[in-house]
Amino acid sequence: MVEFSRHGAVFQNMDYSEIDSRGEAIAKMIDEKTGEGNDFLGWLDYASRLPEEEIARIEKTAKRIRENYDALVVIGIGGSYLGARAMIEAVNGFFPEDKLEIIYLGNTLSSTYTAQVIRHLRNKKFAINVISKSGTTTEPAVAFRLLKEMLIQRFGKAYLKDAVIATTDRAKGALKMEADKEGYECFVIPDDIGGRFSVITPVGLLPVACANIDIRAFLQGVKDAEKDYSGHDYKKNPAYFYAATRYLLHVQKKFTSEMFVSYELQNKMIEEWLKQLFDESEGKEGKALLCSSGVFTTDLHSMGQFIQQGSPVLFETIIKEKNPNLDVEVPSDERNLDNLNYLAGKNLSYINDKAYQATLEAHTEGHSPAMVISIDRMDAYNIGNLFYFFFRATAFSAYLLGVNPFNQPGVEIYKHNMFKLLGKPGVK
């Protein structure tokens, strides 16, 4: 279970009476599935319902990929890739000593990035996990076509049958049709779980298992979280208390932006995942906080000035692990030309922790209050627990704002314009 704390003078006179009167009804509405968008609440108990055979099949497929290929290309965008990448980078870091390389494609229309990935893959024996709930999203569909073509040229069409795994809808969409026709192995994204909540399904589980991360520990973290964050009394439920507090910082204290902060570079994608979760769930009807992100101390050397003394628009939500996954010690140097001997023998994590304490004090005494969400360490179990904490918080927070947390009508508008410009058949 996460630990949650608030820091800053603004909390001393925060008035929670609105939540006192609405909180329980919203909590019940989530569990009883009576609110707007309630047909997308499958994530509430998905981990507990996931059959053993499905977990075992994911593990078996991951083992096969790990044993037979140099690389796995995960093709997907938004909710169909961010969660898996967030977990893989947070747990394995940037330079894992692992023989299976994980590469992401279909998350952009950048021709330069795509061409670079294709060049990078030209001598590799790689597999593809193509992930798309709708099965029709342009970015992953184009990337998939490019890589299929490349593999057919190099190895012939028969190679694709074992090398491609499709994660998509149970029955509909172009990807499902193609997978059935070509005989690709398929994993299902349930109808009642939207993209940004799908990291706990095969969308996240298969790439994460391929990255040699323990998906059973992850699912246990999610299952424990189902109990940890289900209470209807928002004051006793850290997910709801956090959601209530961020809501009040917005509507009562007039902050307009929430900055997710980590002190670990490899957690950057967790913040990207969080931005999608909250911005896509809440940014509707002219409402909601804008979520942004920062990795400290890195960004203290770029945005730190603004946070300390610029316009007072943001508060911080810091994701803090108590123990780093790895550590290094500062060596002693007889000559001490860099004057760093006062740090000799200290771990880098110790120095990072002092930076955290110092920054928390500086920012909260300035005009940026902070909430801290602490976990023991960034391992599979704790990430599972943390992700689910944020699922619950998002649902509660969006319902407080009065918006449907589970749709994203605004995203379709640019797509329609783009298809019109591209001359897609049937689009006017």
| Binding positions for ligand PA5, rule: CB under 6 A | 77-80, 132-134, 137, 140, 194-196, 280, 408
Q: Minimum distance between the CB of residue 77 and ligand PA5, rounded to whole angstroms? A: 5
Output 228 or 280, the one with its CB closest to ligand PA5.
280
Q: Is residue 149 annotated as a catalytic residue, yes or no? A: no
**What is the distance of C-alpha 69 from the center of its chain?**
26
Q: Minimum distance between the CB of residue 193 and ligand PA5, rounded to whole angstroms? A: 10
The catalytic position among 63, 354, 415, 420 is 415
The catalytic position among 280, 282, 316, 321 is 280
What string of H, E and C letters represents the secondary structure of the chain? CCEEEEECHHHHHCCCHHHHHHHHHHHHHHHCCCCCCHHHCHHHCHHHHCCHHHHHHHHHHHHHHHHHCCEEEEECCHHHCHHHHHHHHHHHCCCCCCCCEEEEECCCCCHHHHHHHHHHHCCCCEEEEEEECCCCCHHHHHHHHHHHHHHHHHHCCHHHHHHEEEEECCCCCHHHHHHHHHCCEEEECCCCCCHHHHHHCHHHHHHHHHCCCCHHHHHHHHHHHHHHCCCCCCCCCHHHHHHHHHHHHHHCCCCCEEEEEECCHHHHHHHHHHHHHHHHHHCCCCCCCEEEEEECCHHHHCCHHHHHHCCCCEEEEEEEECCCCCCCECCCCCCCCCCCHHHCCCEHHHHHHHHHHHHHHHHHHCCCCEEEEEECCCCHHHHHHHHHHHHHHHHHHHHHHCCCCCCCCCHHHHHHHHHHHHCCCCCC
Output 196 or 363, the one with its CB closest to ligand PA5.
196
Output 266 or 394, the one with its CB closest to ligand PA5.
394
Output 110 or 309, the one with its CB closest to ligand PA5.
110
CA quadruple 104, 118, 212, 165: dihedral positive or negative? positive
Output 27 or 193, the one with its CB closest to ligand PA5.
193
Q: Is residue 415 annotated as a catalytic residue, yes or no? A: yes
Q: Minimum distance between the CB of residue 271 and ligand PA5, rounded to whole angstroms? A: 16
The catalytic position among 97, 301, 334, 428 is 301
Output 270 or 318, the one with its CB closest to ligand PA5.
270
Output 85 or 133, the one with its CB closest to ligand PA5.
133
Q: Minimum distance between the CB of residue 95 and ligand PA5, rounded to whole angstroms? A: 28
Q: Minimum distance between the CB of residue 260 and ligand PA5, rounded to whole angstroms? A: 17
Q: Minimum distance between the CB of residue 404 and ligand PA5, rounded to whole angstroms? A: 13
Q: Minimum distance between the CB of residue 179 and ligand PA5, rounded to whole angstroms? A: 14
Q: Is residue 280 annotated as a catalytic residue, yes or no? A: yes
Known catalytic residues are 280, 301, 415
